[in-house]
Amino acid sequence: MDLIETDLDADVDSSLRRVRRETHAVLETVAVNESIALSAFVDLVASSPRIFVAGAGRSGLALRMTAMRLMHLRLRVHVVGEVTAPAIEADDLLLTASGSGRTEAVVRAAHVANSVGARVAAITTAPDSPLGELSSALIIVPAAGKLDRSRVASDQYAGSLFEQAVVLLGDAVFDALWRRSGATADELWPRHANLE
> Residues with catalytic annotation?
163
Cα–Cα distance, 156 to 79 (Å, whole number): 28
β-bridge partners, 122: 96, 138
| Residue 55 host element (H or E) | strand 51-55
Cα–Cα distance, 174 to 121 (Å, whole number): 15
Please check whether residue 49 is in contact with residue 85, taking contact to mean a CB–CB distance below 8 angstroms: no
Best CA proximity match to 174, nearest among 186, 185, 162, 163: 185
| Residue 121 host element (H or E) | strand 119-124
Q: What's the chain's length in residues?
A: 196
Residue 46 has φ and ψ, to the nearest 5°, of -65, -30
